[in-house]
Structure 1
Amino acid sequence: MTIGTYKLTLPPEMLRRGFWLYAWRVVGPSGEEFVYVGRTGDNSSPNASPAYIRMGQHLGSAKTQNALRKHLTNKGIPPEQCRSFELISHGPIYPEVEKPGEFNHEDKVLRKLLMVEHLPLRDIVGAMEKQLARDLKDVGYAVLNTVKWRHDVAPELWKPIRAAFAEHFPRLQG
């Protein structure tokens, strides 16, 4: 094991809660490039975390949260042996649903009311996640995950999102 000093710069905007779309670009031990596509905005609660929270979870040890680690490991790639990880995050596309100051996750009535506001936004960003994974794969990027989502994104909503990611994934241009 080599001891080193490393730097991670985090823009403060990535601390904002809301619905984010993101793509990890991973360079494996042999220089091969992989992409993992994800989003924030929970399926089971009215929460929409900042992108930086998902960043740590993806490479952590919690089995229900470390999807990127699992995908790499399933390919026989220990994440600690990768050359680099780059997170490209776009958002928040929508703000997190506002909760009253006294919000308690155990309050089933209030939780249900908040989910009515949360679900349409989650569905749109989930459709964007699916479209981004599909588009990246279609232009030749090695996408690690398959995003299964029953909704599709409207073209007028998708166009600016695709353009934002095309700045970082040049094959998406055109």
Structure 2
Amino acid sequence: MSASTHVLTLPGPMLKRGFWLYVWRVETPKGEMLYVGRTGDNSSPHASAAYTRMGQHLGSAKTQNALRQHLRKEGLEPEDCAAFHLVTHGPIYPEVEHAPGLDRAALMAKHLPLRDLVGAMEKALAEELKHAGYWVLNTVKWKHPHDPVIWETVRSAFAGHFPKLSGTYALGDLDRLQVAK
């Protein structure tokens, strides 16, 4: 293996903590694969920056490297992929303010409704990308509803990067499709 030089440009706003949605677009030897994710912890009142999740996905911590694990299920090592592109949108909501005097329970009470809204949009994004014909590695399981007004803004932002998303569903069609299954 010979050494080579690579450049990564990181937009400063990606360092802002909050609730983000993101899609990894991975150029693999088997073709393009996507992974859909979000920030906003399930077990703590924290919502990290998109940049933070970026590194964790390809790291070695088994509880954080979901993208690496999904690629391995496809028989691929991340190091053998040609490129990783991260499309992020956010922060959709800011991280819950950790004000003095708020205990963990009070922080979680403020955090969970936002996490649930973003988790619902994560699920909708993953399902719409799959329906549009993209190879999405992960399945997002989420039971909470999303805010349809915010979802349309988010969906439109991702459709600018994933052209097959445009026109795949009218608002609400995804819910009817799920009922029909």
The TM-score with structure 1 as length reference comes to: 0.93
How much does 1:155 deviate?
2.2
SS in 1 for 2:54: helix
Which of the numbers 94, 112, 121 marks the counterpart of 1:128? 121
Supply the distance in 1 between the matched residues of 2:111 and 2:125 (Cα, whole angstroms): 21
Partner of 2:48: 49
User: Is residue 172 of structure 1 aligned with residue 165 of structure 2?
Assistant: yes
How much does 1:19 deviate?
0.2
How much does 1:50 deviate?
0.1
| % identical aligned pairs | 64
Partner of 1:117: 110
User: Is residue 149 of structure 1 aligned with residue 142 of structure 2?
Assistant: yes
Structure 2: any 5+ residue segments left out of the alignment?
168-181
| Paired residues of 1:131 and 1:152 also in contact (CA < 8 A) | no
Partner of 1:106: none
Partner of 2:24: 24
SS in 2 for 1:23: strand
Which of the numbers 153, 160, 178 marks the counterpart of 1:160? 153
Supply the distance in 2 between the matched residues of 1:165 and 1:60 (Cα, whole angstroms): 25
User: Is residue 11 of structure 1 aligned with residue 21 of structure 2?
Assistant: no
Supply the distance in 2 between the matched residues of 1:37 and 1:2 (Cα, whole angstroms): 33
How much does 1:100 deviate?
2.3
Aligned length: 167
Q: Deviations over 1:9-30 (max 9, x none)?
A: 0000000000000000001024
User: Is residue 100 of structure 1 aligned with residue 93 of structure 2?
Assistant: no
Q: Deviations over 1:52-99 (max 9, x none)?
A: 000000000000000000000011011100011000000000000000
Partner of 1:70: 69
Q: Deviations over 1:85-141 (max 9, x none)?
A: 00000000000000025x8xxxxx700000000000000000000000000000000
How much does 1:156 deviate?
1.8
Supply the distance in 2 between the matched residues of 1:39 and 1:78 (Cα, whole angstroms): 23
Partner of 1:36: 35
Supply the distance in 2 between the matched residues of 1:159 and 1:2 (Cα, whole angstroms): 46
How much does 1:153 deviate?
1.5
Partner of 2:88: 89
